[in-house]
Amino acid sequence: MTIIERQPLAHVGRSVPRRDAHEKLRGAAQFVGDFVVPRMVHGKVLRSPFAHARVVAVDASEAEALPGVVCVLTGDDLTDLDPYWGHAIKDRPIVALDHVRFAGEPVAAVAAEDEATAAAALNAIRVEYEELPVAGTIEQALADDAPILHEGPLRPGLFHGLGELPPREGNVCYRYRIDRGELESVFARADLIVEGEYSFPAVYQYAMETHTVVAQVEGEEITVWSTCQHPFLVRAELADLFAVPLASVRVVVPYLGGGFGSKSYTKMEPLTAALARKAGRPVRIQNRVDESMVTTRRHGMRCRMRTAMTNEGNLVARDVDCWFDTGAYADNGPRVTATGGDAAPGPYRWHAYRVDARCVYTNTGPAGSYRAFGAAHLQWIGESQIDELARRAGLDPLAVRRDNLCLPGEELRNGAKSLDADLIGDVEQAAAAVGWSEPKRANVGRGVSVGLLAAGAHPVSTAIVRLEADGQVVVLVGTTEVGQGPRTVFAQIAAEELGVDVEQVTVRGTDTRFTPYDRSTGASRSTTIAGLAVQRAARQVRDQLEEIAAGDPLEPTAYPELLRRHFGFTGGELIGSGEVAPTGTGSYAEGPVFWEVCVGAAEVEVDPETGVVRVRRTATVADVGRAINPQLVQRQDEGATLQGLGNALFEEMVFEDGQLLNDTLLDYRVPSFADLPNEMTCVIVENEDGPGPYGAKGCGEGALAAIPAAVVNALADVGVPMQELPLTPERVWRRIQTLKEEGKWPR
What 3 state SS string does 152-203 have? CCCCECCCCCCCCCCCCECCEEEEEEEEECCHHHHHHHCCEEEEEEEEECCC
Taking CA atoms, 359 is separated from 323, 336, 644, 656, 724, in Å, by: 6, 8, 23, 21, 20
In percent, the amount of the chain with pLDDT more than 70 equals: 97
Q: CATH class for domain 21-30+460-581?
A: alpha beta
Give the model confidence (pLDDT) of 670-693 as tens digits: 999 999 999 999 999 999 998 899
Length of the chain measured in residues = 747
Q: How confident is the model at residue 102 (pLDDT cuts 50, 70, 90)?
A: very high
- Mean pLDDT is lowest, of 1-15, 118-132, 146-160, 437-451, for 1-15
β-strand partners of 319: 306, 354
Looking at per-residue pLDDT, the higher value among 203 and 3 belongs to 203
H, E, C per residue of 465-488 = EEECCCCCEEEEECCCCCCCCHHH
Instruction: Please report, rounded to a whole number, the percentage of residues in the chain having pLDDT higher than 90.
Output: 82
Beta bridge partners of 511: 252
How many degrees, rounded to 5, is the angle at CA 686 between CA 623 and CA 21? 80
- Give the pLDDT of residue 162: 76
Query: How confident is the model over 117-159, as pLDDT tens digits?
Result: 999 999 999 999 999 999 999 999 999 999 999 998 889 998 8
Give per-residue burial for 158-189: e unless 16+ CB within 10 Å, then b.
Answer: bbbeeeebeeeebbbbbbbebebeebeebbee
Residue 12 has pLDDT above 80, yes or no: yes
Mean pLDDT of 49-68: 98
Residue 98 region by backbone torsions, left for phi larger than 0, else alpha for psi between -120 and 50, else beta: alpha
Which of 551, 554, 569, 564 has the alpha carbon at shortest distance from 467? 564
- Least confident piece of the model among 380-389, 404-413, 557-566, 649-658: 557-566
Residues of the chain with CATH 3.30.365.10: 21-30+460-581, 382-455+591-741
Tell me the pLDDT band of 167, cut-offs 50, 70 and 90: confident
- Would you state the pLDDT for residue 589? 44
pLDDT category at 369 given cuts 50, 70, 90 is very high
Q: For position 581, what pLDDT does the model report?
A: 86
pLDDT for residue 580 is more than 70:
yes
CB atoms within 10 A of CB 654: 13
Do residues 628 and 649 lie in contact, with contact meaning Cβ atoms separated by under 8 Å? no
Predicted confidence at residue 561, as pLDDT, reads: 82
Position 743 pLDDT exceeds 60: yes
**Opening angle at CA 582, ends 581 and 585, nearest 5:** 125
Predicted confidence band at 1 (pLDDT cuts at 50, 70, 90)?
very low
Residue 250 is given by DSSP the state E
Q: In this predicted model, what pLDDT tens digit does every residue of 258-278 receive, in sequence order?
A: 999 999 999 999 999 999 999
Distance (Å, whole) CA 645 – CA 21 = 27
CA-to-CA separations, 138 to 172, 195, 296, 668, 714, in angstroms, rounded: 10, 20, 17, 22, 29
pLDDT at 97 > cutoff 90: yes
**b (16+ CB within 10 A) / e for 547-581:** ebbeeeeeeeeebeebbbeeeeeeeeebebebebe
Cβ burial 368-402 (10 Å sphere, 16+ → b, else e): bbbbbbbbbbbbbbbbbbbbbbbbebebebbebbb
Measured distance CA(429)–CA(128) in Å, rounded: 61
State the Cα–Cα distance between residues 141 and 134, nearest whole angstrom.
9
Of the residues 579, 701, 724, 730, only one is catalytic, namely 701
Exposed / middle / buried, residue 439 (Cβ in 10 Å: 0-12, 13-18, 19+): exposed
The verdict on whether 701 is a catalytic residue reads: yes
Q: How far is CA 399 from the centre of its chain?
A: 32
Neighbouring C-alpha atoms within 13 Å toward the C-beta of 140: 14
CATH architecture, range 382-455+591-741: 2-Layer Sandwich (3.30)
Tens digit of each residue's pLDDT (9 = 90 or more) over 215-251:
999 999 999 999 999 999 999 999 999 999 999 999 9
* Residue 343 banded pLDDT, cuts 50, 70, 90: very high
Model confidence at 185, in pLDDT bands (50, 70, 90)? very high
Average pLDDT over the chain, rounded to an integer? 93
Specify the pLDDT at position 413. 84
Average pLDDT over residues 34-43: 96
| Amino acid making up residue 607 | D
